[in-house]
Amino acid sequence: MELLEKLWQRGKEFLHVQYPIMAGAMTWISNHKLVAAICNQGGFGCLAGGNLPPAVFAAEIDRTRALTDKPFAANLITIAPNYQEHLRIAVEKQLPFIIFAGSFPKASEIKLAKSSGAKVMAFASNESIAERMIQSGVDALILEGSEAGGHIGHVSLIILLQQVLFNFSNVPVFVAGGIATGRLIAHLLLMGAAGIQMGTRFVMTEECEVHPKFKEAFIKARARDAVATPALGSELHVVAVRAIKNKGMDEFSELQMELIQKRRQNLISSKAAQYQVENFWVGALRRAVQDGDIERGSLMAGQSVGLVHKIQPLHELFSEIIHEAESELRKIKERLLF
């Protein structure tokens, strides 16, 4: 692992892990058991704050700490109703890492997070936002391309690499979206990434306790089956969600049309309509993950689902990825010695 060690040393030192491979925070999926298991295998786990009741969120942090002595993060959704309480709890419990997601945190919130000793990470969707986040005090950036699953931005990872990764070297930059193989990880590290983040691949592990039907749907799906939800009109300010297409997707489009009509007739406030949109996804994802409703539940998945064809234990996943990455780096080295 000589070549790999050199390339991801910065990410290892920043995260204090054996492998700077982050597991994206997935609502209803990234709980204390999965996060701790990933950390104990040498990776970096992220608790999904979502909109958990504050007491449940606090308990998840404690349960994770009971299962691992390794560092982990909590992913806080800045647009969630319980966000401020989540931030307060993360600070009080002195989490080593806090990740801001959903929208962009205020400089005062970043300062508060850092006051507890936490390293702060935030997502950046273009150069100006990356610069703003760094000036506000974040310690590292995450670039997540639209190939990813769940709530997504509008820009693919291949563009974000050129916009942000190639132009910012003063903080570690971790990249995500469509990553499923060690071979690609090798190339991303060569481009300057400090490490990577995956979500879909971690769903397909034995330690991930989602409903068996959820995993079966992933195995059967092709990359083109993981589609982004369309935004109908501009009244709702819908953030696109990438998931495997099913009847639930059609129902979401129908919900949007219904809410748009109500908004135009002033029968519902913008805030209430937005709440119904987000509540739809929270409920639909829970039904798929916990109950196995793969017809009407939300099968949030990245386009990398087309590259994942088996369920495997975490230790095997890490071994496979690391071997692929190191092997690819040796091939690249041979090609350069012409």
DSSP string, 166-208: GG--SS-EEEESS---HHHHHHHHHHT-SEEEESHHHHTBTT-
Residue with tokens 């639930």: 248
* Tens digits of residue pLDDT in 167-192: 999 999 999 999 999 999 999 999 99
- Output the pLDDT for position 240: 83
The full set of domain ranges for the chain reads: 2-208+309-336, 222-300
Q: Please give the structure tokens belonging to residue 154.
A: 């509008």
- The three-state secondary structure class of 48 is strand
- Output the pLDDT for position 304: 97
- Output the pLDDT for position 272: 84
Q: Is 122 in contact with 142 (CB distance < 8 Å)? A: yes
Measured between alpha carbons, how far is 160 from 193 in angstroms, rounded to an integer?
12
Q: Give the type of residue at 225.
A: D
DSSP assignment of 78-107: TTSTTHHHHHHHHHHTT-SEEEEESS---H
DSSP assignment of 99-134: EEESS---HHHHHHHHHTT-EEEEE-SSHHHHHHHH
The CA R_g of the chain, rounded to the nearest whole Å, is 19
Q: Give the type of residue at 37.
A: A
Measured between alpha carbons, how far is 118 from 215 in angstroms, rounded to an integer?
34
Residues in the chain: 338
CA proximity to 11, closest of 171, 231, 250: 171
First to last CA, the chain: 23
- Which residues does the chain have with pLDDT short of 50? none
Classify residue 307 by burial, with Cβ atoms within 10 Å: 0-12, 13-18, 19+. Answer: middle
- Output the pLDDT for position 151: 87
Q: Please give the structure tokens belonging to residue 325.
A: 């990455």
- Output the pLDDT for position 270: 81
* Tens digits of residue pLDDT in 320-335: 999 999 999 999 999 9
- Output the pLDDT for position 338: 67
- Output the pLDDT for position 271: 79
Q: Which CATH architecture has domain 2-208+309-336?
A: Alpha-Beta Barrel (3.20)
β partners of residue 227: 243
Report the largest interatomic distance among the alpha carbons of the chain, rounded to a whole angstrom. 70
- Output the pLDDT for position 325: 98
